[in-house]
Amino acid sequence: MSILSRRGFLKGAALGGCSLAAHPLMTSMTFASAAWEQRLVVIILRGGLDGLDAVRPLGDPNFAAYRPRLLKKSKSLDLDGYFALHPGFGALMPLWSAGELAFVHAVSTPYRNKRSHFDGQDILEAGTGFDVPAGAVRDGWLNRMLQTVPGLSAQTAFSVGLDELKVLAGPAEVRNWSPSTQLELTPQSRLLLEHVYHRDPVFRDAAAEAMDLADGLRVEGDEPLSGEEAMNDMAKSAFKAAGAESLAAFAAARLREETRIAAFSINGWDTHKNQGKTIGKMTPRLSQAILRLKTELGAIWNKTTVIAMTEFGRTAAENGNAGTDHGTGGLMILAGGALSGARVFGQWPGLDEASLYQRRDLMPTGDIRAHTGWIMRDMFGIEKSALENSIFPGVDLGRNPGIIA
């Protein structure tokens, strides 16, 4: 059994009455069910993904001069003769070839200037504009979308994990579950686990191994731990080790059933220094999550769109620590069988100094909300007026970019 699957299970092993929905995941995940056949997965990339490193504008004559160290030892994967993909996303190239991967470059929320992770993420998840202060809106744009759909069941949405996903906060009913930091595996809990996971091949063996270990995990040089001590110790490791692939696997399991919308976050995209090492670790993590979704969803993948978005981009030029600082214009990563893919969407502004935002950042030429709005319009039939006035208040959707096939 892999460490990932075992540790993934352990986060939820403390249970007095939890269900399969209370599966252990490192960061928050939310789900919504409705009558639609299409599926939408939203991934929040916390920390500010450097879109210029993820999808590199090698055809821009100014780009190489901004990134002498970051580009020196890093190979690029050609996409269209102008843009190239970071090698850490290499596993996604078959999706590009199949038209199941796309990007939107030079996009942002309306957030400007202060470049705070907290404010940037608040605005990203609230879906608000210039006239609304960060944190002033208490509901998120996914929740507002759900509010426009009549007849959703009591199980419309729920959240699993430690982090709050504000994108789904609001009046539309959301069920919440988070693992306890003090774990106790009672006989009743053991019976419940055996029953719940009996027919789930992803987690059944992990559950059995975890319960065996909980009965007496020996730490080298120490006496055997009690069941509760063992579970507490293992849960701490699980919180750190459960990866994005576990999130994706559990999301896919729900999306194969009644769930139609899933959202989770992946932390760790802040790259002030040693960016090559950090982004080299993070890009495979996101790739694995996307590929796990595709594998687990099977034929449903053809009805699925994955949107990965981040609070802001990063500076055009690398800094003195071989990293990049907080910027403005960034990147959306799209995947799924519902896409009209193998394209880099958006209007490229250029990287000459006069074209940069404040002469330091990639200039935003598109709004994340507008592109997301068109995806929701074409997938779910949400009215344009609802998108512009309620879900993303004040946004101008503009012309349909044709992201959905």
Answer yes or no: is 3 within a domain.
no
Query: Tens of pLDDT along 200-236?
Result: 555 555 555 444 444 433 333 334 444 444 444 444 4
For residue 249, the model assigns a pLDDT of 86
Answer yes or no: is 309 within a domain.
yes
Answer yes or no: is 366 within a domain.
yes
pLDDT-derived band of residue 291, with 50, 70 and 90 as boundaries? Answer: very high
Answer yes or no: is 300 within a domain.
yes
Position 313 pLDDT exceeds 50: yes
For residue 174, the model assigns a pLDDT of 56
pTM: 0.79
Specify the number of domains making up the chain.
Answer: 1
Which region among 166-180, 259-273, 356-370 has the lowest average model confidence (pLDDT)? 166-180
Rounded to whole angstroms, the Cα distance separating 386 from 120 reads 24
Answer yes or no: is 192 within a domain.
no
* Average pLDDT rounded to a whole number, residues 256-269: 88
Answer yes or no: is 353 within a domain.
yes
CATH number of the domain where residue 313 is located: 3.40.720
Answer yes or no: is 93 within a domain.
yes
Answer yes or no: is 337 within a domain.
yes
Query: Tens of pLDDT along 323-355?
Result: 999 999 999 999 999 999 999 999 999 999 999
More confident position, 278 or 236: 278
CA distances to 14, 56, 105, 172, 389 from 51, rounded to whole Å, are 39, 8, 7, 33, 29
Two tokens, residue 74: 């890093």
Query: Tens of pLDDT along 267-277?
Result: 999 999 999 99
* Average pLDDT rounded to a whole number, residues 119-124: 94
Position 1 pLDDT exceeds 90: no
CA distances to 29, 72, 74, 304, 353 from 86, rounded to whole Å, are 27, 13, 8, 24, 24
Domain housing 61: 27-186+244-391
In three-state secondary structure terms, 244 is helix
